[in-house]
Amino acid sequence: MKRLLRVYKQFFLSSLQREMEFRANFAAKVAQNLIWVIVFALLLEVIFRNTTSIRGWTKADAYLLSATCFIIEGLVSAFLSASTVEIPQKVRQGTLDFDLIKPVDSQFLACTRKFNFDQLGTLAVGILIAWVAARAGNYEVTAASLGSYALLVFSASALYAALLLILMTTAIWFVRVDNLWVLGELALDVARYPVDIFTGAAKVVLTYGIPLALIASVPVEVLGSKKGIDWALLSLSWAVAMLLFARWFWRFALRHYTSASS
């Protein structure tokens, strides 16, 4: 574990040095992410111009929902997905072989080699919007609900990261697939909408089958005391299960990997 932490530290520092070598590019990417957040906020303003709520979700709820997605996207994109989304390219070019022969866990290398520090702007703005939305919506935030919200966001980030890794790992069979990451973004886009707008089987599937509701809708409802803190335990259980499955699936896929040297 200590060795992995040392390696992780070196990856972190090298990524930071890379970003600081091109400061103007870093600033441009941060600005681009902030513009996307502003555009999405303007979209919400347009939606709620002629209504006060959608299926019981107010404008403050919608802002908090979007902010939660921005927080999760910022966490995962900054610290994990920058490397994960490169797995298909590594498989196609044969450079995954270099990860497999190093004396460090190959999955660890595949997921932590790069950091996207420009996504920290999205993370910061997400936290700011969440705070403003909670105050605007007069949320009765307690220590229990805030702690549950933080746990849910952490669990949702782990769940989303595991889902993304599973998608990228399928490139070992498909090989020439460059846009698998789009499916991961699509999952996060679906999570931006309140799960209550879905009905019947779709709502059940998105809550328990493909638990996209646990990514954003449930954290907001727990913070607003619309759901109990037991949902935090459900989300944590799902996150652990997905991480374990992602770990198994990675090892299973490597047994079917035909390296560039073979």
The domain segmentation of the chain, as residue ranges, is 2-254
Distance between CA 175 and CA 157 in Å, rounded? Answer: 27
pLDDT, mean of residues 189-208: 71
| pLDDT of 178 | 63
Q: Are 145 and 227 in contact (CB under 8 A)?
A: no
- Give the phi and the psi of residue 58 in degrees, each rounded to 5: -80, 175
pLDDT, mean of residues 145-153: 84
| pLDDT of 239 | 87
E strand or H helix at 230: helix 230-254
Give 48-90 pLDDT, tens digit per residue.
888 777 777 888 888 888 888 888 888 888 887 777 888 888 8
Q: Which residues contact 229 (CB under 8 A, 6 or more apart)?
A: 144, 145, 148, 222
Residue 208 confidence class, pLDDT cut points 50, 70, 90: low
For the entire predicted model, the pTM comes to 0.82
Q: Are 175 and 91 in contact (CB under 8 A)?
A: yes
* Cross-strand partners of 72: none
pLDDT, mean of residues 10-20: 76
Give 124-135 pLDDT, tens digit per residue.
888 888 888 888
Give the DSSP per-residue string, 23-48.
Answer: HHHHHHHHHHHHHHHHHHHHHHHHHT
pLDDT, mean of residues 4-15: 78
